[in-house]
Amino acid sequence: MNKLDMQGRSAVVTGGASGIGEATIRRMAESGANVAIWDMNEEAMANIAGSIKGVKTHTCKVDVSKLDQVEAAFKSTVDAFGKVDALVNSAGVAGVNAMVWEYPADEWQRVMDVCLNGTFYTCRTATPHMMENGYGRIVNISSVAGKEGNPTASAYSAAKAGVIALTRSLGKELATKGVLVNAVTPTTVNTPILAQVSQQHIDYMKSKIPMGRLGEAEELAAMITWLCTEECSFSTAAVFDASGGRTTY
Ligand SMILES: NC(=O)c1ccc[n+]([C@@H]2O[C@H](COP(=O)([O-])OP(=O)(O)OC[C@H]3O[C@@H](n4cnc5c(N)ncnc54)[C@H](O)[C@@H]3O)[C@@H](O)[C@H]2O)c1
Domain 10-236 has CATH 3.40.605.10: no
Q: Is the CB of 92 under 6 A from ligand 1?
A: yes
Rounded to two decimals, the pTM is 0.98
Residues 214, 246: Cα–Cα separation, whole Å: 11
Residues 157, 53: Cα–Cα separation, whole Å: 37
Q: Is the CB of 192 under 6 A from ligand 1?
A: yes
Candidate list 103, 121, 135, 156, residue with the active-site label? 156
What is the predicted pLDDT for the residue at 231? 98
DSSP assignment of 109-174 = HHHIIIIIIHHHHHHHHHHHHHHHHT-EEEEEE--HHHHH--TT-HHHHHHHHHHHHHHHHHHHHT
pLDDT tens figures, 149-185: 999 999 999 999 999 999 999 999 999 999 999 999 9
For residue 204, indicate whether it is catalytic: no
Around Cβ 163, how many Cβ atoms within 10 Å?
26
Strand-pairing partners, residue 57, are 35
Write down the mean pLDDT value for the chain: 97
> What residues does each domain of the chain span?
10-236
Sign of the CA dihedral running 34, 38, 43, 48: negative
3-state secondary structure of 195: helix
- Residue to probe by mutation, ligand 1, list 107, 166, 189, 190, most atoms within 8 Å of CB: 189
Residue whose C-alpha is closest to residue 96's, from 184, 201, 21, 243 = 201
What is the predicted pLDDT for the residue at 122? 99
- Residue to probe by mutation, ligand 1, list 12, 13, 39, most atoms within 8 Å of CB: 39
Residues 127, 215: Cα–Cα separation, whole Å: 30
What is the predicted pLDDT for the residue at 196? 86
pLDDT tens figures, 43-85: 999 999 999 999 999 999 999 999 999 999 999 999 999 999 9
Given a contact cutoff of 8 angstroms between Cβ atoms, the answer to whether 70 and 62 are in contact is: yes
Largest CA distance in the chain: 51
Instruction: Please work out, in degrees rounded to the nearest 5, the angle formed at the alpha carbon of residue 226 by the alpha carbons of 137 and 90.
Output: 65
What is the predicted pLDDT for the residue at 201? 87
Q: Is the CB of 141 under 6 A from ligand 1?
A: yes
Residue whose C-alpha is closest to residue 153's, from 91, 108, 216 = 108
